[in-house]
Amino acid sequence: MRILGIESSCDETAAAVVEETADAAKPWVVRSSVVASQAEIHREWGGVVPELASRQHLRDICGVVERAMAESQTGPRDLGAIAVTQGPGLVGSLLVGLAFAKSLAAVWDLPLVPVHHLAGHIESLFLEHGPLPLPAVILVASGGHTSLYEVRQPGRYVPLGRTRDDAAGEAYDKVARLLGLGYPGGPVIDRLARGGDDRAVAFPIARMTHPDRNAPLLKGQWDFSFSGLKTAVLRYVKARGAGWTPSATEAADICASFQRSVVEALLDRTFAAARWCGARSVGIAGGVSANSRLRADAMAGGERIGLQVFVPSLALSTDNAAMIAAAGLRRFHAGVRAGDDLNADPSLRLV
């Protein structure tokens, strides 16, 4: 069976065709994956502008879907279903992809499968590596989300922790803007950090010691917080005086020190949760999983304690539709279908 996936939750318009195989070790294969990025559009604003994002989705979505179908040599009759991101995300962006997917499903007489964006990121690991050793603890870190999930059965995601303020990727973007490094912040900070001293500045690492009253079902000790770290960078810069501009060496040191704090916070919680759950593997997904230090430190940490660590390829780390198609296949076989009354949910919860 082949499935068409459509993703438009933020500032990437994406479509992909994923096919099931008869190989238990690699049950899904990507036949095509097309992504139209809006990074250049939003760069001058220092972040994603929702109205501009939704307008660009309208311009791109037809061409992106047509290309995904053509590259995979797939016609409507070759598809078994259409999967689309229902949420969370920017409501205007979500509505573009959702309306397009609903129209295709109606015209082509195909089942429509709604997908949670974070479920897509989790399933990108299974798409890349095949079945992971379960139970697994999965960290999903991106510009809009930083959450921990336990997976004991395929397709069942139990929340363990989340950020209480900024997401990790959001903190990268804000610090990059503060240092005048441009948008998006993750890649440029990662690049500069490689040439810096990660102990040059003693930035803090927040550790939660009590449950979040806004999420009483979570224990709290595996939650994240990055607003304090972001503020510490701001104070460090302001202490240098008005008009101060960091030299290349200073910028590299700040980036390296900031990145060390972020990565240590992410991996400390992830491995602690894995020990508590008796996990057989750890997965790291989402845009921040493309970070070179996070990948290297995660692999080294897993090797030290004898725990397998899985990360997706760079193409599957950032927002894409192949992961939505994979999650759609999982839900399709679980009997999930949507009617023509399906609506976008920008605050959709993954439970």
Residues 24-62: pLDDT tens digits? Answer: 999 999 999 999 999 889 988 888 999 999 999 999 999
Fold of 134-315: Nucleotidyltransferase; domain 5 (3.30.420)
pLDDT, residue 221, reads: 85
Read off the pLDDT of each residue in 304-326 and give the average, rounded to a whole number. Answer: 96
Look at residue 224 and tell me whether its pLDDT is greater than 70.
Answer: yes
Residue 338 corresponds to which amino acid?
A
Question: Token pair of 246, please?
Answer: 């960091």
Read off the pLDDT of each residue in 69-79 and give the average, rounded to a whole number. Answer: 98
Q: Is 339 exposed, middle or buried (0-12, 13-18, 19+ CB in 10 A)?
A: exposed
Question: For all residues of the chain together, what is the average pLDDT?
Answer: 95
Read off the pLDDT of each residue in 310-324 and give the average, rounded to a whole number. Answer: 97
Read off the pLDDT of each residue in 334-339 and give the average, rounded to a whole number. Answer: 96
Look at residue 216 and tell me whether its pLDDT is greater than 80.
Answer: no
**Neighbouring-strand partners of residue 14:** 7, 35
Residues 6+ apart with CB under 8 A from 136: 150, 151, 279, 280, 281, 282, 283
> Are 133 and 118 within 8 A, CB to CB?
no
Given 3.30.420.40, 1.20.120.420, 3.40.50.2300, 3.90.580.10, which CATH number is that of 2-121+317-333? 3.30.420.40
The residue assigned the tokens 């760069």 is 43
Chain region(s) in the chain for CATH 3.30.420.40: 2-121+317-333, 134-315
Q: What is the pTM of this model?
A: 0.94
- 80-124: per-residue pLDDT in tens? 999 999 999 999 999 999 999 999 999 999 999 999 999 999 999
Look at residue 296 and tell me whether its pLDDT is greater than 90.
Answer: yes
Lowest mean pLDDT among 125-139, 199-213, 257-271: 199-213
Of residues 332, 312, 333, the one with CA closest to residue 30: 312
- The Cα 337–Cα 105 span in angstroms is 11
pLDDT, residue 219, reads: 67
- 249-269: per-residue pLDDT in tens? 999 999 999 999 999 999 999
